[in-house]
Amino acid sequence: MKIKLIPEQNTPRWIIFLIDIFLSLTALFIAYLIRFDFVDLDRYTLLKEWHILKPVLPIYIIVRASLYYFGKTYAGIIRYTSTEDAKRIFSTVALGTFVFLMLSPIRYYYFDGVYFMPISVIFVEFLTSIFLLITSRTVVKLIYVETQKSRGATKNVLIYGAGEMGLITKRTLERDPNILYNVIGFIDDNPKLRGKLLERIPIKSSNSIEKWAKETKIDYVIIAIKKSDPKKIRQLIDTCLKLNIEVLTVPPVEKWINGQFSSKQIKKVRIEDLLGREEIELNTENISKEVNGKVILISGAAGSIGSEIARQLLRFSPQKIILLDQAESPIYNLEIELKHKKPTVEKVVVIGDVSNPVRMENVFKTFQPEVVFHAAAYKHVPLMERNPSEAVKTNIRGTKILSDLSDKYKVDKFVMISTDKAVNPTNVMGASKRIAEIYTQSLNKLSSTKFITTRFGNVLGSNGSVIPLFKRQIEKGGPITVTHEDVTRYFMTIPEACQLVLEAGSMGQGGEIYVFDMGESVKIIDLARKMIKLSGLKEGEDIDIKITGLRPGEKLYEELLNQEETTQKTHHDKIMIGKVKEYDYGEVNRRVKKLIDSYKTQDNDFIVKQMKEIVPEFKSNNSIFSELDK
């Protein structure tokens, strides 16, 4: 958003103070003219009224001047006059009028038997003073704004949303000349509003944007709506990008600074707004029953998913949240963030590695968790492809340790965070998560603990995800690197993913793999192109897109189920239960133990070969381990 800074050339405050007093005296004069209908002003009448007014005129000036001084009506910058200035003027003038009304009986009964001023004059002077003081400021402001417009300093704006927020946005822009916007219209898809005017500005549907843009140059479209339809917002942004119109957005009301909206809070639309979906409705009653008053352990609490689960759990008032992670600085930052949120909930930070059985045993023995959310894992495909032993150590051994301890210490529910890369895995990371799924599922049959798995795709803005990478590449001037022109991915926001994890955890009875509705898959190259446009740049001119080739183990597209898996519906339309193959715990436990022991050899081929034996559908793609599939 381009902001034109206007140099300050303020009129001295004392001049405004004197002008205010002069305007009040003018109001008093007009009040007398009205009292005598502008005509009954013979010499005798004038002398009589002057005789009454003369002794109190100094008092009138002192009262008005004192109140203007202490009320600081002169202190505001005139060209920035707002409703707050008008309120201050009204209250200050009203207080002075109240003083005059109180002085009237005092003069009448204790001095010369004459009222301070005629009651009609007092009330007319009150109204006229307010009118003159506010009007004078408004006129100066309008002259200033029009002067700036004549210099070509304005940007033509359409506001999406003709409701309360849209109107507040319009008025905010108009009273802040530092950002000179010319609001030429409102966009609203409510058929009842089409063709009407809001403060003399037309309201049209979003279908009219293209035609509007042909008739008038549109610089910005500002989204100002409380509850928006993500699908319509995506269509609006896509239209604006095609027309080279910059899209801005007004933050939600709860994020306004001290409840007040400022034009400085208007920001560029984010790529996340193009991928967002309808707000999820949670069954808060069920979730509350599962976590309220309980001790909750979150592994991987410093990560994107773990930290968001912690934030969302606070609203359901658990007794205690154990925040477990080995990343010292991120977990410290989370502790600082959550410290003063929901003080009735105890938060305990534990530094530890989930693959360390002694440390984990101590954690379970000390805190006796009742619900475990297991989000700790290595997740970067290329890194795990080069380091299979670490994938086994953390993703498989770590899960086995936490699962076994959950069974031993009678944890009520164990909710594991898995990934769509566990479906028909083509890489070590995905295979390690699938083995973790298999182990917890098989253990569920023998344990009183309910082991539940949640499986979903990429989350927007998570550590190491594609969007932060593209943002950094754009900031550096490019190029943006895309592995393949046809590569697609599912996306979900971090809050949405965590809400579904909580929902699935509350409904799970053990042994289920919950699959989330990820919406439509997105071509990564299209995502890159939209991010370039949202940054105000042009592909091929300002920044390039470079195709680098698929990385080891990477798929062109992700799957949420394999060919042998089916789903059944739940009460939540975004959550399904995947019907997957069942496994015998004894056989799974024997193979997993053997695999865990083999990671100590650091023999990558040997380790991956065993993973492929446990997960026969694991077929390496574009990887050195593809030879093992032959």
Residue 144: CB atoms within 10 A of its CB come to 16
Residue 481 inside a domain? The answer is no
Which residue reads 């002077």 in tokens? 125
Is pLDDT at 1 greater than 70 in this prediction? Answer: no
**Contact call for residues 389 and 604 (beta carbons, < 8 A):** yes
Of 133, 148, 163, the one marking the end of a domain is 148
pLDDT digits (tens, 9 = 90+) for 120-174: 788 888 888 888 888 887 777 777 656 655 555 577 888 888 888 888 888 777 7
Burial 357-391 (b: 16+ CB within 10 A, else e): bebbeebbeebebbbbbbbbbbbebeebbebbbbb
Residue 85 inside a domain? The answer is yes
> How long is the chain?
630
| Shared-domain flag, residues 137 and 170 | no
Structure confidence at residue 4 (pLDDT):
38
| Shared-domain flag, residues 86 and 205 | no
Cα 403 to Cα 405: distance, rounded to the nearest angstrom: 5
- Mean pLDDT is highest, among 7-16, 171-180, 296-305, for 296-305
Rounded to two decimals, what is the model's pTM?
Answer: 0.66
Confidence grade of residue 508 (pLDDT, cut at 50, 70, 90): confident
Query: Following DSSP, what letter does each residue of 407-419 receive, concatenated?
Result: HHTT-SEEEEEEE
- Just list the catalytic residues: 421
| Shared-domain flag, residues 575 and 442 | yes
Number of domains within the chain: 3
| Shared-domain flag, residues 299 and 221 | no
**Contact call for residues 494 and 460 (beta carbons, < 8 A):** yes
User: What is the domain-level CATH number for residue 308?
Assistant: 3.40.50.720
Contacts of residue 294, defined as CB under 8 A and 6 or more positions apart, other chains included, come to: 318, 319, 370, 371, 412
| Shared-domain flag, residues 566 and 591 | yes
Structure confidence at residue 235 (pLDDT):
81
Cα 580 to Cα 512: distance, rounded to the nearest angstrom: 9
Is pLDDT at 372 greater than 90 in this prediction? Answer: yes
Is pLDDT at 78 greater than 80 in this prediction? Answer: no
What is the extent of the structural domain holding 596?
A: 284-458+493-521+559-626
Cα 291 to Cα 371: distance, rounded to the nearest angstrom: 7
| Shared-domain flag, residues 24 and 97 | yes
Cα 80 to Cα 178: distance, rounded to the nearest angstrom: 9
Residue 188 inside a domain? The answer is yes
| Shared-domain flag, residues 449 and 334 | yes
Average of per-residue pLDDT across 426-446: 93
Structure confidence at residue 2 (pLDDT):
37
| Shared-domain flag, residues 122 and 241 | no
Residue 278 inside a domain? The answer is no
**Contact call for residues 510 and 450 (beta carbons, < 8 A):** yes
Residue 277 inside a domain? The answer is no
| Shared-domain flag, residues 116 and 181 | no
Residue 443 inside a domain? The answer is yes
Is pLDDT at 628 greater than 50 in this prediction? Answer: yes
| Phi-psi sector, 95: left (phi>0), alpha (psi -120 to 50), beta | alpha
Q: In a 10 Å sphere around its CB, with 0-12 CB exposed, 13-18 middle and 19+ buried, how is residue 54 labelled? A: exposed
Is pLDDT at 371 greater than 90 in this prediction? Answer: yes
Give the sign of the dihedral formed by CA 25, CA 27, CA 28, CA 33.
positive
| Shared-domain flag, residues 288 and 259 | no
| Shared-domain flag, residues 428 and 567 | yes
Of 207, 240, 269, the one marking the end of a domain is 269
Of 118, 148, 178, the one marking the end of a domain is 148
* Per-residue tokens: 613: 């034996």
Residue 473 inside a domain? The answer is no
| Shared-domain flag, residues 193 and 65 | no
Is pLDDT at 347 greater than 90 in this prediction? Answer: yes
Residue 67 inside a domain? The answer is yes
What's the whole-number average pLDDT of the chain?
81
> Nearest to residue 402, comparing CAs of 436, 438, 428?
436
